[in-house]
Amino acid sequence: MSNKDRHTLSSSGLAVLLATSVLLLGSSGVVSVRNVIGQAAGQVWTGLAPTTVAAEELTTYVDEQAEWSISYPADTLQMERLSEDVTIFISADRTTFFAVDTYLEVASRYGNTGENLRNRARDTLDLIYGNYALMVDVMEGGAGPWTTRVAFTTERGSKGQALYKQPPVVQPSFRVFGVIFGYKAYTEASVLPMLAAIRDSFAEGTSPPDAVSSATQAVEFVPEGVRGQQARGECWTNSNVVNRPNAWRCMVLNEIYDPCFSLNTSEGWVVCGASPMGDGLGFRMNLTRPLVVDNPGPYSRYPWVIELSDGNRCEGLGPPASYVGDEAVSFACGNGWYVLGDMEEGEVWYAKRARLSSDGSRVVESTREAVRTVWY
């Protein structure tokens, strides 16, 4: 498993000024605002119409405080935290993303001009792109929940939108929500339907019943089957990763596979490479010598893979453990995130998910996450 620390979409070099008929700059350098209530939006606002993606392709994510939720394709985008306020869902090549920004505001900063929301959009784009995003159009009002909309481009060929909203009436304090999505311009036709579906799934203060409140499910993993390829090898001991009598530590040539599984229907072969982290399929390894049980039990039950409430799955690292302070690094979740220490067991299990510094010596940020499923 590859675990890489998070990098933003920032690029080096000098920011360039954009001279275009769409960007309306006065002498003060302030973007002119078009009020488009009751007017056509224009070509820059492609993709604003509601769209759908098949529900089975999406995973629901609920933030830790249950302030908001979205549905997104977890096989395409991975969740990261950019700051206390900004959560981003980003592709592996770091060219396509969807971000949610939310924060509390006070009545003295409430206004219908949208200036505060535009400034916030600017700050969030700077956080994501490192000062290289250029606002090319702004809309105030219009149909739908988003009261301020910013279209942007970058010098490296990306484009996108930042949509913000605040309550319709002033309150002593209120929560502002924004969603931002960006992509390479040449990929617009392929990725915009997905990003629009995520945008349309955004909901305030909602928590789906199965995200946190349902009991954690415990599952004994069984491989779904084998692919066409076969190999020859040997298993010389029980698994170091999965503490079960039919789980093995095996070798094909000089490569170790742990765990491999012997099934009730298999004689002289095991299934290797299958995991809840993937599609459950493995390959058949024909044994060059019989299996020998060196761990007669009893077998303790400690999860091999866990799925958190946001749909992300984390794989156990197994012995020997590494430590951050006095906490063992128990599971790797990808993108620089790990689970530390032992989980809190109960009807609903909880895990401490943490992002570590680049050298792995300290915790940069951490959250307490409900666990949806554990696999043994």
Amino acid at 14: L
Identify whether 72 is part of a domain.
yes
188 CB contacts (<8 Å, ≥6 apart)?
A: 46, 47, 159
Residues 66, 115, single domain; the answer is yes
Rounded to whole angstroms, how far apart are CA atoms 124 and 50?
A: 24
At 154 the pLDDT is 93
Which domain CATH number covers 193?
3.40.1000.10
3-state secondary structure of 2: coil
Residues 283, 315, single domain; the answer is no
At 51 the pLDDT is 45
CA 108 to chain centroid: 35
Listed residues 231, 252, 287: the one ending a domain: 287
Residues 139, 91, single domain; the answer is yes
Identify whether 2 is part of a domain.
no
At 111 the pLDDT is 60
Q: Is the dihedral of CA 311, 312, 317, 323 positive or negative?
A: negative
Helices within 224-302 (DSSP H only):
none
Helices within the chain (DSSP H only):
115-129, 188-201
- Between these two residues, 54 and 330, which has the higher pLDDT value? 330
Residues 86, 171, single domain; the answer is yes
pLDDT in tens, 2-32: 333 333 333 332 222 222 222 222 222 333 3
Sheet holding 59-62, edge to edge: 59-62, 68-72, 203-204
Specify the number of domains making up the chain: 3
Rounded to whole angstroms, how far apart are CA atoms 148 and 237?
A: 62
Rounded to whole angstroms, how far apart are CA atoms 208 and 190?
A: 29
Residues 238, 319, single domain; the answer is no
What is the per-residue burial (b if ≥16 Cβ within 10 Å, else e) of 4-22? eebebbeeeeeeeeeeeee
Tell whether the model's pLDDT for residue 346 goes beyond 80. yes
Highest mean pLDDT of the ranges 41-45, 91-95, 166-170: 91-95
Identify whether 354 is part of a domain.
yes
Residues 165, 91, single domain; the answer is yes
Identify whether 320 is part of a domain.
yes
pLDDT in tens, 97-139: 999 999 887 666 656 557 888 889 999 999 999 878 898 888 8
Q: Dihedral, CA atoms, 71, 76, 79, 80, nearest 10 degrees? A: -150
Count of residues for the chain? Answer: 376
At 49 the pLDDT is 45
CA 344 to chain centroid: 23
At 251 the pLDDT is 96
Rounded to whole angstroms, how far apart are CA atoms 4 and 324?
A: 17
Average pLDDT over residues 194-223: 78
Residues 190, 260, single domain; the answer is no
Identify whether 70 is part of a domain.
yes
Residue with tokens 């094909």: 252
At 173 the pLDDT is 65
Rounded to whole angstroms, how far apart are CA atoms 18 and 159?
A: 13
Rounded to whole angstroms, how far apart are CA atoms 166 and 105?
A: 9
What percentage of the chain exceeds 90 in pLDDT? Answer: 43
At 158 the pLDDT is 95
pLDDT in tens, 71-83: 999 889 999 988 8
Identify whether 216 is part of a domain.
no
Reading phi first (left if > 0) and then psi (alpha if -120 to 50, else beta), residue 271 is in beta
At 35 the pLDDT is 32
CA nearest 222: which of 248, 247, 251, 250? 247
Residues 144, 42, single domain; the answer is yes
- Between these two residues, 26 and 254, which has the higher pLDDT value? 254
- Between these two residues, 358 and 28, which has the higher pLDDT value? 358
Rounded to whole angstroms, how far apart are CA atoms 336 and 343?
A: 19
pLDDT in tens, 256-309: 999 999 987 667 999 999 999 888 899 999 999 999 877 666 667 789 999 998
Identify whether 231 is part of a domain.
yes
Residues 137, 253, single domain; the answer is no
Rounded to whole angstroms, how far apart are CA atoms 79 and 70?
A: 11
Rounded to whole angstroms, how far apart are CA atoms 84 and 101?
A: 9
> Are 164 and 148 contacting, i.e. CB atoms less than 8 angstroms apart?
yes
> Are 281 and 223 contacting, i.e. CB atoms less than 8 angstroms apart?
yes
When the pLDDT of each residue in the chain is averaged and rounded to a whole number, the result is: 78
> For residue 340, what are the β-bridge partners?
329, 352
> For residue 349, what are the β-bridge partners?
371
What percentage of the chain exceeds 70 in pLDDT? Answer: 76
Radius of gyration of the chain (CA): 25
pLDDT in tens, 134-162: 988 888 775 567 888 999 999 899 999 99
Tell whether the model's pLDDT for residue 54 goes beyond 50. no
Residue numbers of the domain that contains 331: 305-375
Residues 173, 243, single domain; the answer is no
Residues 309, 283, single domain; the answer is no
Residues 183, 235, single domain; the answer is no
> For residue 322, what are the β-bridge partners?
none
> For residue 68, what are the β-bridge partners?
204
Identify whether 19 is part of a domain.
no
Q: How many helices (H) and strands (E) does the chain have?
A: 2, 24
